[in-house]
Amino acid sequence: MTVFPPPVEPPPVEWSAAELGALRGRRIVLGVSGGIAAYKAVEVCRRLVDAGAHVIPVLTEAALRFVGAPTFSALASEPALTSLFDEAEPIPHTRLGQQADLVMVVPATANLLGKYAAGIADDLLTATLLATRAPVLVAPAMHTEMWEHAAVRDNLAVLRSRGVEVEDPVAGHLAGGDTGTGRLAEPAAIVVAAARVLARTAHLTGDLAGVRVLVTAGGTREPIDAVRVITNRSSGKQGYAVAEAAARRGAHVVLVSTTGLPAPAGVELVGVQTAAEMEAVVMARATDTDVIVMAAAVADFRPKAPPEHKLKKDDGVPELVLEPTHDFLVDLGRAKRPGQLLVGFAAETERLVEHASDKLAHKRLDLIVANDVSQPDAGFEVDTNRVVLVDAVGHVEHLPLLAKIEVAGIILDRVSGLLAATKERA
């Protein structure tokens, strides 16, 4: 007779009435993917409904091999949905994504996590995940070997960097008699995690509705000749994160970018290359903008009078004469109208706060975001950032290493607060 070791008991779930109250009246899409732990999603569904949430179940084809749609239809607020094509409406994922306050996936299999990280939308659940701006919470469940696989860890890192919440699995008995980490978190813990996500983001929903936000992103590219350019290492990721987060919070967002990255959902993208091109677009739109976030790394210098043809190696080493670009952020500060906010960025390698404070004062900014780009885990070309926020009254806030989407959220928290203070004074 095989004797299994006792499972490791998960820690007790602690919550407050206020946290669970965050579920009341909220629309939650409960996605269920195809793992043996799908049966526990039934209990999650029941607990969410009992807490007052409006729950719409979405089951994958593989999930239906473990649980039945009628079970969820009986417990949830709406009938379970299972297909992109069999429903009465032609684009159900769009409605689900737009109307959701939270999208959950319980359990989230390795396959589901991989598709979500790669942007694959081949069923109703994955299409809904890509069609929503609501917070997303995934609760993975799988065998230990799969949970510890490098591909799964990488996919989770990508999702976390995009702001996806993860309720990690626990240790315990697994399918087939195995024991290890990979067991779905307890339904009560998942429900509390959902409540905490909603409680934490409740004040963000729509707090920038109607606000016109302009964001710049990427490093400008100044031509040396018809082929070569001078540029910098800015990837544009932080600017894109700010634009995406602002759109999620209801703002009308224009993103002026030098990169080839696609526009985040709901964001108007304007492509430019040089500092002069960026200046022309930003200055033309500045008057009708409430918040300008200058996250781009605009060149300080450019080649003077670059030739229109490609320079040849046989011609010898060209004499490269540089001239300063025009600092149009100074113009924005001088022309700033009452109630308009101007946020700058400072990429530094030393004396971070000192240089950022000088730049803030000289350019009449309301807030500046400074980061030490000499650090390998922050700044250019990575998905994380470690920044210092300095405002116009001298308040300095050091943030720990965070995903850039999280940094964007904190920046917009400060912007939202400054806008509210401006309205109170008006």
In CATH, what class is 212-425?
alpha beta
CB atoms under 10 Å from CB of 7, counted, come to 13
Which pLDDT does position 90 carry in this prediction?
64
Decide if 290 contacts 212 (C-beta within 8 A).
Answer: yes
pLDDT, tens digit (0-9, with 9 covering 90-100), for 20-30 = 677 888 889 99
Decide if 247 contacts 253 (C-beta within 8 A).
Answer: yes
Decide if 265 contacts 247 (C-beta within 8 A).
Answer: yes
DSSP assignment of 68-108? -HHHHHHHSSS--B--SSSSSSS-HHHHHHHH-SEEEEEEE
pLDDT, tens digit (0-9, with 9 covering 90-100), for 38-61 = 999 999 999 999 988 999 999 999
Which pLDDT does position 349 carry in this prediction?
86
DSSP assignment of 132-150? --S-EEEEE---HHHHTSH
CB atoms under 10 Å from CB of 95, counted, come to 14
Q: Based on DSSP, count helices (H) and strands (E) in the chain, helices before strands.
A: 14, 21
Which pLDDT does position 325 carry in this prediction?
96
Q: Give how far the C-alpha of residue 163 lies from the chain's centroid of Cα atoms, to the nearest Å.
A: 5
Residue indicated by tokens 């996806």: 164
Active-site residue list: 232
The identity of residue 254, as a single letter, is: V
Decide if 297 contacts 347 (C-beta within 8 A).
Answer: yes
The residues that bridge with 136 in the sheet, in sequence order, are 103
CB atoms under 10 Å from CB of 120, counted, come to 15
| Domain positions in the chain | 21-204, 212-425
Which pLDDT does position 355 carry in this prediction?
93
The residues that bridge with 7 in the sheet, in sequence order, are none
What sign does the dihedral 396-397-400-402 (CA atoms) show?
negative
SS3 sequence of 324-359: ECCCHHHHHHHHCCCCCEEEEEEEECCCHHHHHHHH
Which pLDDT does position 84 carry in this prediction?
86
* Both tokens assigned to 351: 């004396």
> Within the chain, which residues score under 50 in pLDDT?
1-5, 7-9, 12, 14-18, 203-204
Which pLDDT does position 313 carry in this prediction?
87
Query: Which of 242, 274, 195, 226 minimizes the C-alpha distance to 405?
Result: 242
Query: Which of 86, 146, 145, 67 minimizes the C-alpha distance to 112?
Result: 146
Secondary element (H or E) of residue 258: none
**pTM of the prediction?**
0.59
Which pLDDT does position 214 carry in this prediction?
98
Q: Does domain 21-204 have CATH number 3.30.1360.30?
A: no
138's CB contacts (< 8 A; 6+ apart) are 104, 105, 108, 112, 113, 116, 159, 164, 165, 166, 167
Angle at 163 between CA 160 and CA 164, to 5 degrees: 65
Two domains, one topology: 21-204 and 212-425: yes
